[in-house]
Amino acid sequence: MPIKRWIQLASLVLLLIIPTYAAQAKQPVAPPTYEEVVGTVWIWKENGIKVQAYNGLPIEKGDEVKTDQTSSITLSWHTTADKITVTQQAWLKVEALNKQKGATLTLYSGETFTSINPEAKRKFIINTPTNQYVSKGTNFLITVSPLTGANSLSVLSGIVEMNSLMTVGGTRNTISPAQTIYVVPGSKPIQTPVQELYTDLSPTIFRAIEEQTSRIVSENERLIEQDVITASREEHMRWALLQAMTNYEQTYDWKSNLVSAETRKLLGNPKQVQYTEQELQALKNQQAMQALLAQRLKDQQTQAANNRELRELEAERLKQFVQQRALEQKALEEQQTQLKNQYLNQLSESDRARLQAQQQQREKLLQEQWQKLKEYDKPLPDIPVIDPTPPTPSEPSEDEQILNAELYELQVQVNQSLQEALHYTEETKLAVEQILAMPQQNLQQKQSKKEALFHALNMMYLDESKARVPSDLTKYTTATRQRVEEALQLPEQTSEEKAQKGYALTQAIDQLVTVDQGLQHILQQVPSDLTIYTLSTRQLLEEALELPEQTNAEKASKIIKIQEALQQLVKIVDDDIQVALDDAKSQIPTDLSMYTETAQQGIDTALAMPEETNDEKQAKTAAILAAIANLA
């Protein structure tokens, strides 16, 4: 085929493709939000502010989601119907967000169920401390043990790519539906078929899986058509889902049918798939992995007990050391007393008498000082009795461990912010340095320092927001400028007020619109056809459009006038105009001979006026009424 013909065909293909992509690009993309909040869930923002989650709260880059034993939450992408369900006692961080391409997250501990719409063609990446999971249009379950760091991935539909982060160059595995892979740090991954899909499913995960059952089955059927998986694998997945839902009913509520009839009808009643020898061996490996995890947990508990014994031995050794030092001190005092007596015995009577007189003089001075001290009303403080037995060291509680971790993260964040930013005031820098120097020896001091660090972050956040305020606000529209000015007037005495003021300033600055942009935007709102509005309201708009726009002040004033005129526009109705014209004609006297010739000519001239358009009808109505008023 000639090259010229190839170029013509390529151009034709591009002309067909480009409008399609352009139409897709124009579709609005709704921002992702937190939904289905159960219990109390805290979100640590990237700027250090701690926010309690609520339905509809926007998801932002840097968010850290932490749930407790009674809470759960769902990250929802409304435009593409993508969802990530986070269960109890989980820790998840949003690393990156992209409106068109997906998201990158890190799961440090806990359990998540991810459901991604395959039609949206968006890529989601979920990292764990040891692995990276990449998916496009899948439903899968990830768990990360906070104790051992072990990962498990169960794929319900679609394909998930797993990349190891612990080896140089990474190790890549492709996990298909009805498969589970276990990864323990330091061990080779074990891939097994799903025998019984998590018999201990939490209510949150169960509901999320049941909600996506239709998508799971349809996605697997699509993969069967593409020869990606076999029909037996899909049948096996259906059996596992049905088993999981039956186990859930038996575990949580045996009095009512919790699985919807639609789900059971969709799944049907598949027969259990017989395992091959390879699959049976994989199941044995799975049991061996579970035994390994149990043994590791047991070893950690044994190690903790051994550590306690070592600490008790160290405490006993310290006690014996203190007792030995006390005995040595007593022997030294007895030796000094003996040497003193030997020295006194060697002296003459006169020297001994002189030493005794000096001793009596010192005792007299001490007695006088003691009497002076007694004259004060304040009692002398009791001398504390020091117990020579050292305290037995104890492990910090779970709350204290969490507090220590939060303190560490806050101090790192404050230090980084203090070093990177250049626009903090000297007052803020001095206050932050004093807060960083606060002691943290006990729980009370740690809690106080934690609150002070939040206050420091709020101070720095407020300084950053103030530094972003433009020096010249006159080039912005009145409405957006007023929002900034109102935010600057907010109080900033307490830590909460500083955070609120910084947030208000940030929002107001991000919404600033220059007068040129505002004028262009308001002009785009002016209707192209003004004849459908009444003359009085249309004239107000036309007068506003004729106002000058040389300076920023003139542009801002013109925007306000145009906006007010647009709000006052009143549409006219054709029937009403015709009724008004007919009514004006009906008011003309039938006998005009009694009026002057000039008055009659005015009526004739008005009646001769055209009446095709709405403007012509309105003008003719006004002329007839004026001519009737001039009849004499």
Residue 11 has pLDDT above 80, yes or no: no
Residues 529 and 432 in one domain: no
pLDDT of residue 297: 63
Q: CA-CA distance, 285 to 279, in Å (whole number)?
A: 10
End of a domain among 249, 274, 299?
A: 274
CA 557 to chain centre: 40
Residues 496 and 524 in one domain: no
Residues 135 and 252 in one domain: yes
DSSP 493-560: SSHHHHHHHHHHHHHHHHT--BHHHHHHHHHHTS-S--TTB-HHHHHHHHHHHTS--SSHHHHHHHHH
Confidence of residue 396 (pLDDT cuts 50, 70, 90): low
Residues 554 and 587 in one domain: no
Q: CA-CA distance, 442 to 458, in Å (whole number)?
A: 24
Mean pLDDT to the nearest integer, 599-614: 85
Lowest mean pLDDT among 144-158, 363-377, 474-488: 363-377
Residue 61 has pLDDT above 50, yes or no: yes
Residue 150 lies in a domain: yes
Residues 458 and 534 in one domain: no
Residues 592 and 464 in one domain: no
Mean pLDDT to the nearest integer, 546-569: 83
End of a domain among 211, 246, 274?
A: 274
pLDDT of residue 26: 47
Query: What is the DSSP secondary structure assignment for residue 119, as one 8-state letter?
Result: G
Residues 39 and 150 in one domain: yes
Q: CA-CA distance, 209 to 138, in Å (whole number)?
A: 12
pLDDT of residue 301: 66
CATH number of domain containing 67: 2.60.120.1440
Q: Is 573 left (phi over 0), alpha (psi -120 to 50) or beta?
A: beta
Confidence of residue 552 (pLDDT cuts 50, 70, 90): confident
Amino acid at 445: Q
Residue 93 has pLDDT above 60, yes or no: yes
pLDDT of residue 250: 65
Query: Can you read off the two tokens belonging to residue 537?
Result: 């309201």
Q: CA-CA distance, 467 to 387, in Å (whole number)?
A: 57
Query: What is the DSSP secondary structure assignment for residue 63, as one 8-state letter?
Result: -
Confidence of residue 64 (pLDDT cuts 50, 70, 90): very high
pLDDT of residue 443: 80
Q: CA-CA distance, 582 to 580, in Å (whole number)?
A: 6
Give φ, ψ of 588 to 5 degrees.
Answer: -75, 125
SS3 category, 161: strand
- State the angle between helix axes of 535-545 and 552-568 in degrees (0 to 180), rounded to the nearest 10: 170
Q: How buried is residue 43: exposed, middle or buried, by Cβ count under 10 Å (0-12/13-18/19+)?
A: buried
Position with higher pLDDT, 147 vs 161:
161
Residue 8 has pLDDT above 70, yes or no: no
**Tens of pLDDT along 254-298?**
445 666 766 766 777 665 555 566 656 666 666 666 666 666 667
User: In this structure, are residues 211 and 142 in contact, taking their beta carbons and an 8 Å threshold?
Assistant: no
Q: How buried is residue 295: exposed, middle or buried, by Cβ count under 10 Å (0-12/13-18/19+)?
A: exposed
Amino acid at 41: V
Residues 67 and 198 in one domain: yes
Residues 476 and 552 in one domain: no
Compute, in degrees rounded to 10, the torsion defined by CA atoms 54, 55, 57, 59.
110
Confidence of residue 84 (pLDDT cuts 50, 70, 90): very high
pLDDT of residue 176: 80
User: In this structure, are residues 456 and 431 in contact, taking their beta carbons and an 8 Å threshold?
Assistant: yes
Residue 332 lies in a domain: no
pLDDT of residue 7: 45
Q: CA-CA distance, 174 to 477, in Å (whole number)?
A: 55
Please give the share of the chain, as a percent, with pLDDT higher than 70: 77
Residues 555 and 608 in one domain: no
Residue 453 lies in a domain: yes
**Which residue has tokens 């320092």?**
449
Q: What is the count of structural domains for the chain? A: 4
Q: Is 38 left (phi over 0), alpha (psi -120 to 50) or beta?
A: beta
Alpha helices, H only, 138-276 = 203-211, 213-225, 231-252, 261-267
CATH number of domain containing 597: 1.20.1270
The C-alpha R_g of the chain, in whole angstroms, comes to 42
Residues 180 and 223 in one domain: yes
Q: CA-CA distance, 421 to 419, in Å (whole number)?
A: 6
End of a domain among 259, 274, 289?
A: 274
Residues 411 and 544 in one domain: no
Residue 44 lies in a domain: yes
Contact residues for 625 (Cβ-Cβ < 8 A; gap 6+)? 584, 587
pTM of the model: 0.44
Residue 377 lies in a domain: no
User: In this structure, are residues 435 and 455 in contact, taking their beta carbons and an 8 Å threshold?
Assistant: yes
Residue 104 lies in a domain: yes
Query: Can you read off the two tokens belonging to residue 624?
Result: 């007839």
- Average predicted confidence (pLDDT) for the chain: 76
**Which residue has tokens 């036309």?**
542
What range does the domain containing 540 cover? 515-568
User: In this structure, are residues 79 and 105 in contact, taking their beta carbons and an 8 Å threshold?
Assistant: no
User: In this structure, are residues 112 and 86 in contact, taking their beta carbons and an 8 Å threshold?
Assistant: yes
Residue 367 lies in a domain: no
**Tens of pLDDT along 470-513?**
888 887 888 888 888 888 888 888 878 888 888 888 888 888 88
Please give the share of the chain, as a percent, with pLDDT higher than 90: 4
User: In this structure, are residues 266 and 217 in contact, taking their beta carbons and an 8 Å threshold?
Assistant: yes
Residue 537 lies in a domain: yes
Residue 171 has pLDDT above 80, yes or no: no
Query: Can you read off the two tokens belonging to residue 227?
Result: 């020869």
